[in-house]
Structure formats: structure tokens, C-alpha cells
Chain A
């Protein structure tokens, strides 16, 4: 079992620089892991152990999702000074660091199926991409399905694919260039 002194960050498996978006994703992963229907833990933990683990996850999430409580917690851990302001930069403004895996470049040409496969392998939903990127879910679906007849003009499409790539952890520029070049040439 995990150590009782584990920090809230440790419970969710993230670092103290995690963005709110990362906190959310890590919480959903951990909550799923200890759900009563979870395949991964039902034979590994008994009911009581699973309940305890779930409580730790909920307690961690309750603190880390709340900017003020998280700041207070960070102060108690000595990560930030009491006088500093709560810092919650959106994901876009956070430079890749130790808490975030390096961006990936998919082999050229990048297809809609490639994007979908990569997204699913990272456990990210279209709704999350939409929330983080402000690109409508319908357009994200069109991009994955390569619905050329309804995709926007290349200049907008490039931006949408860059946003998609950024959220899932792909290198935005080459991903968008490769995808758009292929789709436009096929039109």
C-alpha cells in the first residue's frame, strides 16, 4: 500500500507543477483505478483497501482542484512562500517540464486515424480537448474522421489541429503541417 505520509501530489501521481488540467486527468485515472468495478484492482485489493485508497484520492483531489486550498497546501509543504500568489497557469502557458512528458512527433503523413489512436492511447477524450482548446467537439470529430467536405479552410484547420496536438502531447507544428498537407492535397 502507499505510504500514509504520501503527499496529495503523490497520491494522484503528479508533480507539484501540474496544471489544473493535469490534476483533473490524474484524478480521473486514479478514481477509475479504485472504482468498485475496476478490473485493475478488484483482485489486488480487498474492499476495505480499495475504499481507503479511494478516500485518499478524493482527499487529494479536493485540495488540488481548489486554487486557494492548493496554495495553502503548497505553503505547508514548503513548495511556495506564504506571500506568493496562487499560481495556476493554464496548460498552454506552462512550458514542458519534468511533470509533462516530452512532445511526440508522429511519422509523416499524419492521418486522422493516427491522431485518434494517439489520443486514445493517452486516455484523453475529445471533450477534454475541446475544453482545453476551445475547438468544438464536432470539428475535432471531423478532424479524426477526415471529413474533408466539412472541414474548415486550411488556415483554420491548421490552427485546430495544432490545438488538438498541443493538448494530447504531440508536437503541434509538424503534426498540423503533415495532416493539413495530406488532407488539402486529397481534396
Chain B
């Protein structure tokens, strides 16, 4: 093939949707999304950040921008026709934003058709990475964005409440995925029952659920096992203060594998540091303001690892 012809051919585009969820609010998820998006753009990726925290959007503030006049809500409510019309530039090359700050969707309720339209249009954006900042909680909208992502990040901080919510998030996401794959109403019923912690089947974990489904319908369990095998959340432990905090990420991965049957991985951690707080006060991104600080280096490490498909693994 001649060089000229090779140049004339369009490069194959591998557009990816990444999302950052975390059951609990106030764990620095939006800052993480903004700084990860910034870092990906620095690595040469064309990135659009999407603020899908429709009840409490503030990603624009993390980026030092005033609240854009148009946002995701305007597209969802068809005030604008094209998703591209709500994409705004940021001060940073290759990084743009779809804000969620228009406040038209305070209740964060969108119906299935609206959701499908958003997802399809996000996939069609001419960028390398669509990075979605999900709101707190485990509502269906949040979970659905998480599930359609090529890279599903789950942010936690090393505190009991955050970890507990993180597990709840994983279970909610997985059960919704399994429910979507359930071959018949009887199996769906078992999955619905599993969402109640005091369910009559005694189901506490996804592994219990599969056993219960197998008892109900032995043929139905194979597709669910496949879904379980393909479910792959990646932990980011934010605000670590010690090596023991860093180790929490490894422990979460092991606990997920052994006790939930979930193949999670550890994308990385970000140190707690006052540079983050100081940057927030100035409405600046810490990765840009103080690129040599420990948290900035941590985010760089996470971005590189995700781009190159690497995760943190224990040394054995």
C-alpha cells in the first residue's frame, strides 16, 4: 500500500465511553473526572467531559468555567436538536464539556427513550473519549450510563460509608445487567427479589443469586454467568493518606472476586493533599495548577494505565 493511499484512508476510530460512578456523594468524583479528562487531553486524546450529575452538576466549576447557558438537559428536553450544540470549549486544548448545570432536570429523571437518544448521540460524538461524571446514588439512570461504558470506574474513599456504598453500587449495577439479560419473567422475579436485602431466597451476593436462578431454571444460569464474567468495574481509591489506604484498593479487588464473583480491578489511587483543596478554592484544576504534586502524578498514572490497559496488581 502506498503512503499516499494510506494517508487518504480515514483512520479507524475507537471512540470510548468512560464513566465515573461511586455510590456516595462528596468523595471527589467530579474533581477526579475533571482531572482525569484533563490528563487524557494532555496525552493527546480528544475528550468531552459529560456532567451527568443532573441533580447537582458542578463539573464546570471544577474546570474554572461559569455555568454554561446550555447543557445536557437542554438536549434531553429537545430545546436544542444536536448534542454538539451543547458542547462547550474549556481553556484546555482537546478538552470540552457538556454541562449538566441547566437545572431543568433537578429530579434527574429521564425516560428510557430520552436515555437511549443521549447514549446514541454520545457514541456518535467526534472525540476519542467521552468521560461521564455520574451522580451519587444508584438510580437506574446512573447505573445505565455506568453499564454502557467501555471503562466503568468506581470511585471510593477509604472510609466505611464510601466502601459500603461502593459495594451497593456494584450489586445494583450487576443485578440490573443480569436482569436485562434474564431470559424469562421467573428469573427476572428472582433477580428483583435479590435487590431486597431481606429477601426470602436468602440471596446476599451475586453468587447466591446465580445459585437461586439455577434452582429456578437451570438453563437460564449460563447467560447470566456470561454477564457476570463480562462485568468489570475498576476501582479508584481517592484521598489516600497511607500505604494502608492504598492497600484498600487491592483488598476490594480480592473481596469482589472471592465474595461477589465479580472480576474488578484497581485502576489506581489519588493521594489526599491540600493542593487539591487550594486549587478548588481558586476554581482551578489541581493537575493544571500543581502538576508535580502527588495527586497530579497519581492521576497521570491512572490515565496512562487506563489508556494502556494496565491495572495495579499485587506482586505475586
**Given that A33-B254, A33-B255, A38-B251 are known contacts, is A120 also in contact with B246, CB under 8 Å in the complex?**
yes
- Taking a contact as CB atoms under 8 Å apart, the answer to whether A44 and B255 are in contact is yes
Chain B residues with Cβ below 8 Å from A45 are 259
| Nearest CB on B from A61, distance (A) | 14
- Taking a contact as CB atoms under 8 Å apart, the answer to whether B251 and A32 are in contact is yes
Q: How many A-B residue pairs have CB under 8 A?
A: 81
- Taking a contact as CB atoms under 8 Å apart, the answer to whether B163 and A123 are in contact is no
Interfacial residues of chain B within 277-316, with CB under 8 A of chain A in the complex: 297, 301, 312-316
- Taking a contact as CB atoms under 8 Å apart, the answer to whether A122 and B243 are in contact is no
A43 contacts partner chain B, Cβ-Cβ < 8 Å: yes
- Taking a contact as CB atoms under 8 Å apart, the answer to whether B251 and A33 are in contact is yes
B252 contacts partner chain A, Cβ-Cβ < 8 Å: yes
Which interface class (under 10, 10 to 19, 20 to 34, 35 or more) fits B? 20 to 34
- Taking a contact as CB atoms under 8 Å apart, the answer to whether B248 and A123 are in contact is no
| Nearest CB on A from B159, distance (A) | 7
Chain B residues with Cβ below 8 Å from A2 are 258-259
Interfacial residues of chain A within 110-166, with CB under 8 A of chain B in the complex: 113, 117, 120-125
Chain B residues with Cβ below 8 Å from A43 are 160, 163-164, 167
- Taking a contact as CB atoms under 8 Å apart, the answer to whether B315 and A40 are in contact is no
- Taking a contact as CB atoms under 8 Å apart, the answer to whether A121 and B246 are in contact is yes
**Given that A43-B160, A120-B243 are known contacts, is A29 also in contact with B250, CB under 8 Å in the complex?**
yes
- Taking a contact as CB atoms under 8 Å apart, the answer to whether B248 and A39 are in contact is yes
Which positions in A face B, CB cutoff 8 Å? 1-2, 13-14, 18, 22, 25-26, 29-30, 32-33, 38-45, 99-101, 113, 117, 120-125, 168-169
**Extra contacts besides A1-B259, A117-B297, A121-B312 (15): CB < 8 Å:** A13-B316, A18-B316, A25-B315, A26-B314, A29-B251, A39-B158, A39-B159, A39-B160, A40-B252, A41-B259, A43-B163, A100-B316, A101-B313, A120-B246, A122-B315
When A and B form their complex, which 8 residue pairs have the shortest distance between CB atoms, in order from nearest? A40-B251, A43-B164, A22-B316, A122-B315, A169-B315, A40-B255, A121-B312, A33-B251
What are 24 residue pairs bridging A and B, where the CB atoms are less than 8 Å apart in the complex?
A18-B316, A26-B314, A26-B316, A29-B250, A29-B254, A29-B314, A30-B254, A33-B251, A40-B163, A40-B254, A41-B251, A41-B255, A41-B259, A43-B163, A43-B164, A99-B316, A100-B316, A101-B316, A117-B301, A121-B269, A122-B314, A122-B315, A123-B243, A123-B315
